[in-house]
C-alpha cells in the first residue's frame, strides 16, 4: 500500500511541477499545500473543495490525490507526504484511540484535538456529518420488522455482511457491533468502502446487510434502510480538515474554517447526488459550483 501511495503522490507532484519524492524522507514544499483524500467520492469532493478555495485565496496547491482508506492516507499525512486531508471526527478519533468513548459532536472534537499526533492540527469542524450505518434493503427491513441494529442482532448469524476490508477490523466495525449489540454475522464479504461493489452486493442479495454512509445517494436511490444506532456504536462523524501544523497559516485556516461554517449535511448529500447523477460531472465542477453558490469563490476551476 505504501508503494502505491508513493506512486500516486509522486505523479501528482510531477504534474504540479513540484520537485522531490514526497515519500523519500522529506516534507512537501514549504510554500505548497499537498492535499490527500480517501478513495471514495465524498472525500474526493471535499478535497477538491479545499483545493479550489485555497487557490482562490492565493495559496499554491497540488491537485488532490485519492490515496485510499484512513489506514493509508493518515500515515501519509503524519510523515509529511501530504499536508491536508478531509476527515470525519469520530472515525478518526477511534482510529487514533480504540478506547475512545466520546460520541457527541463537541465531545468527539475535543477529544480528537487532545489525541491528534504532534505536528498536526484541526480546522473547525463542520456541522455536516456523514456517519457509518448498517444498512439493509427495504424488503429485509419489512420482512424482519427492522428499525434498529438491536432489531437486527437476532438475525445476524444467518446473514452475510458486506463492507470495506477495514470495517472488519475497526473497533466500531464488526467488533463494535458484536460488543454493543451481540450481532455476530455468519459471514463477511470484503468489498469496498461505501462504494459501488457494496451497493451492488446488497441490492443483488449477495449480502443481507452492509456498511454504507448516511450521505450516500445510493440509499434513497435503492430504497435502502439505514438502521438506527441507539447504543451509539458509531460516534459523531463531522467533517473536519486535518492539516500539518507547519502549513496552518492564518490564511489557510481562515479558508478552511469558512468552508466548515458553510457546509451542512444536506448540502453534502446534494453534492454527492450531483456527482452520481446521470451526467456524471467532474468532481472539480461540482466542488466549484458549490463554492460559488456559497460565495466562497467565484466558481472558476
Which CATH number belongs to the domain containing residue 241 in this structure?
Answer: 3.40.190.10
Residue 243's beta-bridge partner residues? 84, 121
State whether 124 and 266 are in the same domain. Answer: yes
Same domain, 170 and 199: yes
- Is residue 103 in a domain? yes
Residues 13 and 115 in one domain: yes
Burial readout 275-301 (b: 16 or more C-beta within 10 A, e: otherwise): bbeeeeeebbebbbebbeebebbebeb
| 80 domain residue, yes or no | yes
pLDDT of residue 148: 98
Q: Name residues whose C-beta falls within 8 Å of residue 183's C-beta, 6 or more positions apart in sequence.
A: 149, 152, 153, 156, 177
Do the beta carbons of residue 20 and residue 5 sit within 8 Å? no
248 and 116 in a common domain: yes
How far apart, in whole angstroms, are the C-alpha atoms of residue 182 and residue 38? 30
Same domain as 14, residue 123: yes
- pLDDT number for residue 301: 45
* 220 shares a domain with 200: yes
CA 137 to each of CA 43, 115, 221: distance values in angstroms, whole numbers, following the listed order: 25, 37, 11
Of 96, 98, 70, 107, nearest in space to 85 by CA:
70
- Per-residue pLDDT at 29: 79
Q: Answer yes or no: is 299 within a domain.
A: no
245 and 112 share one domain: yes
Residue 300 is assigned to a structural domain of this protein? no
Specify the residue for cell string 524522507. Answer: 25
Question: Which domain does 164 fall in, by range?
Answer: 132-226
Residue count (the chain): 301
For residue 219, tell me if it sits in a domain.
yes
Cell for 153? 442482532
Q: What's the pTM value of the predicted model, to 2 decimals?
A: 0.80
Q: Are residues 110 and 24 in the same domain?
A: yes
Q: What is the pLDDT of residue 27?
A: 67
Cα 175 to Cα 181: distance, rounded to the nearest angstrom: 10
The SS3 assignment for 84 reads strand
Residue where a domain terminates, one of 226, 250, 282: 226
Residues 95 and 147 in one domain: no
User: What does the pLDDT read at residue 187?
Assistant: 98
Q: Final residue of a domain: which of 178, 195, 226?
A: 226
- For residue 26, the model assigns a pLDDT of 53
Q: Which three cell numbers stand for residue 2?
A: 505504501
Spell out the per-residue pLDDT of the chain, length 301, in tens. Answer: 444 444 444 444 443 444 334 443 456 778 899 999 998 899 999 999 999 999 999 999 999 999 999 999 999 999 999 999 999 999 999 999 989 999 999 999 999 999 999 999 999 999 999 999 999 999 999 999 999 999 999 999 999 999 999 999 999 999 999 999 999 999 999 999 888 999 999 999 999 999 999 999 999 999 999 999 999 999 999 999 999 999 999 999 999 999 999 999 999 999 999 998 888 899 999 999 999 999 999 754 4
φ/ψ of 291, rounded to 5, equals -60, -40
For residue 186, the domain's CATH number is: 3.40.190.120
Q: What domain count does the chain have?
A: 2
Residues 102 and 113 in one domain: yes
Please indicate, yes or no, whether residues 175 and 288 belong to a single structural domain of this protein.
Answer: no
138 and 125 within one domain: no
Domain final residue, candidates 184, 200, 226? 226
Amino acid at each position: 500500500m505504501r508503494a502505491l501511495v508513493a506512486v500516486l503522490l509522486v505523479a501528482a507532484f510531477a504534474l504540479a511541477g513540484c520537485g522531490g519524492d514526497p515519500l523519500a524522507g522529506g516534507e512537501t514544499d514549504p510554500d505548497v499545500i499537498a492535499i490527500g483524500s480517501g478513495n471514495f467520492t465524498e472525500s474526493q469532493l471535499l478535497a477538491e473543495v479545499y483545493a479550489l478555495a485555497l487557490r482562490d485565496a492565493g495559496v499554491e496547491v497540488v491537485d488532490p490525490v485519492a490515496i485510499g482508506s484512513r489506514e493509508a492516507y493518515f500515515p501519509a499525512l503524519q510523515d509529511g507526504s501530504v499536508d491536508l486531508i478531509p476527515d470525519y471526527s469520530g472515525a478518526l478519533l477511534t482510529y487514533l484511540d480504540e478506547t475512545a468513548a466520546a460520541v457527541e459532536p463537541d465531545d468527539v472534537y475535543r477529544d480528537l484535538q487532545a489525541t491528534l499526533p504532534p505536528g498536526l492540527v484541526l480546522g473547525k469542524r463542520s456541522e455536516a456529518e456523514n456517519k457509518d450505518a448498517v444498512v439493509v434493503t427495504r424488503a429485509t427491513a419489512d420482512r424482519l420488522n427492522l428499525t434498529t441494529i438491536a432489531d437486527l442482532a437476532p438475525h445476524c448469524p444467518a446473514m452475510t455482511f458486506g463492507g470495506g476490508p477495514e470495517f472488519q477490523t475497526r473497533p466500531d466495525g464488526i467488533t463494535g457491533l458484536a460488543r454493543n449489540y451481540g450481532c455476530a454475522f455468519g459471514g463477511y464479504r470484503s468489498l469496498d468502502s461505501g462504494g459501488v461493489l457494496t451497493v451492488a452486493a446488497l441490492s443483488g442479495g449477495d449480502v443481507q446487510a452492509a456498511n454504507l454512509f448516511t450521505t450516500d445517494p445510493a440509499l434513497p436511490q435503492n430504497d435502502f434502510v439505514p438502521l438506527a444506532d441507539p447504543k451509539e456504536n458509531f460516534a459523531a462523524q463531522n467533517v473536519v480538515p486535518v492539516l500539518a501544523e507547519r502549513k496552518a497559516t492564518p490564511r489557510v485556516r481562515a479558508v478552511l474554517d469558512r468552508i466548515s461554517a458553510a457546509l451542512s449535511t444536506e448540502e453534502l448529500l446534494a453534492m454527492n447526488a450531483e456527482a452520481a447523477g446521470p451526467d456524471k460531472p467532474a468532481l472539480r465542477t461540482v466542488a466549484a459550483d458549490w463554492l460559488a453558490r456559497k460565495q466562497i469563490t467565484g466558481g472558476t476551476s
